[in-house]
Structure 1
């Protein structure tokens, strides 16, 4: 019996809907997640094709279990993702600054552990898989099978590059080694590379900003990074400016662009980046606002005020 395409897709979604788990096969999960699952199953597939030693029943059972567990876990995360997007920061309970800083510190500790695991375990393991695939490609005579292995090796290489970028994002090395100003300058430089956006920085001229807690520096770095990402992706702007101003007990950061203006209505409520910026500021006792430009010109102003904290 031949099923129509639409009915088949609907049936698969119903069978595989473990709170969004079927989204993997629907192709809606991020590409790097699909790559990891693909690489996990690849040795068994190649064994079944006769390219590598044929897998045992235990190999098959372990691989199927790993893939199913990964699907279930990612399905859980994907199923919750729309709820994260609908969160309104204004409805969240206010967190005292001291508690917020401890939360930021705990979150960074977790990020550091994840970064170490990726750096010490997952990255080298994927690099080893890539080398094995390169060797397997050299030993295969069939052109089609050899090309399949070469494609898998290239995909693995791209995944390794993705993991390196994730490692850098989890613990910005420039923030830790060079300080907030240099880290902001690098964000400005990255935002202006490879595109039509011209980005400027206006930072204090009387030396580096001192007396900031690491939680405040980290919040400032990530909020500015998110704001510049929004400018690049959504604002259709030609220029943007990052401005840092010091006060006695706080700092103010402003990211201004000449694009289409701040999101409104449903688009504003759906903005994951806007909620993330507000939450990061509130975690350390600060405030983040997304406003039209005060001079009346087209564009958006992101203004964040953060306490200095305990350095």
Structure 2
């Protein structure tokens, strides 16, 4: 608004000055006498000077609005092009809004972005494969051992304690003095069970072990449905992705579900994994307590890991949370299209 106001005033003053100079040069009168022309000559009982000032102001503001509209139109077109580059790696069809030189520059940026993203995905794939060869077997064995021991000892004891407390509270009368403390202890044990399930979820192997992401997610969710007391709905489609991207998305799903178990207090969780318009989309939504932006609670550290993992595979992550309504975590990245171009020469150079 300030730019528009300044542009309108500047143009108006410029037009008034130009008109005054032209009259001074055309009339060829002394400076003092040329001033009298502007208020002696009238049209429709209005002095010529007022007509000049009003007309100059109108022209100045009209041109200022027109220039502002053109600038906003170009900004919107440029923003759409950049958004398209980020989300789909494609430049929109050229139009008359942007100049051919900007279109060529955007095309070059698109080529660089595609090359860099493919290089990043290839490096991620190579690193994932190297990590699998070096430490995956030993790490998986250790995690499985810890998970098995926790499940066979602590988890079973918590389950037995929860069942015992449930039986005691059912047999107790609400009027008894120890009834409320027993209910509190029962809730604490149930919460400890949820924490243990979240921990066991973290201890699962992060790699898919030659399974597709869809199969790994389905197995994880079916197993989780048998252990938690809230409703889990999921829709999973087969989407072609690189191995590194699948491993990262699987770990993102684990992180998000673990946060939901520990913090959300949700009764429903919906998981969606589909491909739309060349993008692989993983969305996890719950109806839990949610959190405010900047809140230290709600598993902010885990959600930060989710964002970092999405960036590592060339994707984008959007987290929307509304207090008392729930949280949505959505990750998007380009799906793999046929044979990938070998860009090792480009990176090496």
TM-score class normalised by the smaller sequence: 0.3 to 0.5
Give the structure, 1 or 2, with the largest relative contact order (CA under 8 Å, sep 6 or more).
1
Give the structure with higher Rg (CA).
Answer: 2
